[in-house]
Chain A
């Protein structure tokens, strides 16, 4: 008996044990998809694909659901989630777009132009910014930026012009996009700057030796060489922006409204709501089955988007590989 304790485990038993533990991770994913899908099923069963369409006010529709009893009729599940989908696309799209441009420029600055001491300080600062919890960004947004926008940027006449439809108090599209951009940019800067630094010096030397100025060498050679890293950074930013629930629920406004570009400048100040933020908003009312089913439907949509993002990133990177045979 003691002898068996002292001997190390035989390999095949260890392999099976470790393998079982590893597979439990896969099991968790499978369970996650299963649970979310099962709970979301009633919504899709009663609404079909038009659930993604538009029609009606999401807040009112959810509000009606709260008061239905334990066995709600089919009509209780009625919801048109387009405003939420639209809000998600709008905020994520703008944030990643602006963030990518800003990140590229900043990364070029850090790697090319920043003086030595500045370079040494900026890198840990960027990493710190990337790990700041989102609730802190939300706090600054709701206590500083939103009042600023509400009191100083939106004019009184603009507020009056939409008074009957929606209250403009500063929380809305522009504050949400600004803070979301602030959140996703540091990650992209860190990734792109690291990628720029790891471009083989042979290429940079070769370009410079041909009489090309350093910025041009970076733009023409290094940026081409790090295209996969740029794609990865954009996808990472998308994933983070998509899943951001708490911060957005703080600053994006009190209503599930659809900002309309034809409203002119006011479009920037109109409130919106994203899918993730809706989950947070309705998390307390999960006892009503209709609400629960709807909320899980939002979660399922988010899950699919996350999968689709990873898949598309993989697909986009594939054709880029042919130019990097041997070199990465």
Chain B
């Protein structure tokens, strides 16, 4: 689909090469822009390449299958021992909770806004709210989560100390706040997908006597399934990469630390770590002096994000109804 030649005049033809616009006839300022644009492009490629290459090289040094599947060990020589199975599990768990909470709410809201949306001011309020959530810094969401879940009302969701202070930090709590990160991505994707479905599909279903609800269930929702998938993947990307919420709301234990004897519930109420907090803790900013571990975990994280991005690209190529969110931020 290239409409415009990349460099003018360089096209093979019968006879002599046609003359393009020579740089000498350009304005002086245009020539500067030309040089700077090339410089920026080259610098962009260089920086991207250097970043990925450096992380790969440093990351692979510590990485091995045993590291991926073994648990962090307390030990004297922190720099050499222990894997990061727990952080990986932590990332998976928190992502799961976040997505499970966000998707139904986002889909339901998007369906309501597009298909019903009465009164109009309320629909606009809902849309603005989603935009506000999308624009809120994740650290503010984390702090809000802390304030919310330290209420006695939510004591069952986390650990309660002997003096009665609710800890307010657990996988459930962190996952709940993570769902706020994924919500805008799914909402926008589903809303755009629904809006892109032409009206005559709905009218056709109504003409056959179906109620609106049935139309939604049987006609529209299946149609936006690719959009839901893309939105969820974008949301997962945001959750996986977030550190602030994890640092504030997941407690500070390196290993998964369940809070009660009931297996599932205990885990959810307990604390742990994720890949992102593991990287932070092992860097000089945290308490760690084990940069190799940090690099290894960072590399795994990068691969994860790369995989998610490719998945989004592949999904949108297979054809969602509407253009998919462009970057992994859910905007």
Contacts and interface: CB of A to CB of B under 8 A. Distances in A.
Contact of B283 (A143, A194, A239, A245): A143
B214 interface: yes
A276 interface: yes
B51 A140 contact: yes
Interface in A145-199: 182, 186-187, 189-191, 194
B30 A219 contact: yes
Contacts of A325: none
Interface in B163-196: 180, 183
A23 B104 CA distance: 14
A19 B135 CA distance: 23
B6 to A, nearest CB: 6
Give the residue among B130, B144, B294 with the most A Cβ atoms within 10 A. Answer: B144
Nearest to B248: A283
Task: Report the 9 A-B pairs with minimum CB-CB distance, sorted nearest first.
Answer: A243-B137, A131-B328, A133-B241, A109-B41, A18-B112, A105-B40, A22-B109, A245-B139, A21-B108
Contact of B4 (A110, A138, A214, A302): A214
Contacts, number: 279
A128 B313 CA distance: 11
B131 to A, nearest CB: 7
B88 interface: no
Contacts of B302: 132, 136
Contact of B126 (A26, A112, A134, A276): A26
B61 interface: no
B100 interface: no
A320 interface: no
Contacts of A134: 241, 243
A262 interface: no
A8 B143 contact: no
Given A116-B2, A139-B294, A215-B34, A25 B126 contact: yes
Question: What secondary structure prevails in chain A residues at the interface with B?
Answer: helix
B248 A35 contact: no
Given A19-B116, A129-B48, A11 B41 contact: no
A323 interface: no
Contact of A26 (B125, B291, B308, B310): B125
Given A129-B48, A214-B4, A246-B244, A106 B41 contact: yes
Interface stretch (A47-55, A60-68, A72-80, A306-314): A306-314
Interface string A3-41: 000001111001101110111111011011001100100
Given A32-B141, A134-B241, 5 more contacts: A116-B6, A133-B276, A143-B283, A239-B137, A244-B137
B45 A310 contact: no
Contact of B241 (A106, A131, A190, A276): A131
Interface string B140-174: 11111011100000000000000000000000000
B297 to A, nearest CB: 9
B211 A11 contact: yes
A31 B145 CA distance: 10
Contact of A8 (B148, B211, B244, B331): B211
B270 interface: no
B140 A246 contact: no
Contact of A15 (B116, B133, B241): B116
Contacts of A116: 2, 6
Give the residue among A133, A182, A309 with the most B Cβ atoms within 10 A. Answer: A133
A287 to B, nearest CB: 8
A92 to B, nearest CB: 12
Contacts of B55: 136, 140
Interface residues of A, number: 93
A22 B2 CA distance: 42
Contact of A276 (B139, B180, B306, B329): B139
B46 to A, nearest CB: 11
Contact of B37 (A24, A109, A126): A109
Interface in A191-237: 191, 194, 201, 204, 208, 213-216, 219, 236
Given A135-B276, A136-B301, A213-B30, A296 B135 contact: no
Nearest to B294: A139
Given A105-B37, A246-B243, A25 B105 contact: yes
Contact of B327 (A9, A26, A131, A144): A131
Nearest to B237: A131
A250 interface: yes
Contacts of A201: 3
A243 B294 CA distance: 23
B143 A122 contact: no
B130 A25 contact: yes
A309 B135 contact: yes
Contacts of B295: 139, 143
Contacts of A191: 326-327
Given A11-B211, A131-B241, A136-B279, A32 B30 contact: no
A123 to B, nearest CB: 10
A58 B6 CA distance: 54
A243 B4 contact: no
B30 A142 contact: no
Interface in B215-263: 216-217, 237, 240-244, 247-248
Given A14-B212, A279-B139, A190 B305 contact: no
A256 interface: no
Contacts of B40: 102, 105-106, 109
A6 B92 CA distance: 37
B291 to A, nearest CB: 6
A22 B240 contact: no
A132 B294 CA distance: 15
Nearest to B305: A131
Contacts of B38: 109, 113
A166 B206 CA distance: 72
Given A10-B211, A32-B144, A130-B329, A142 B37 contact: no
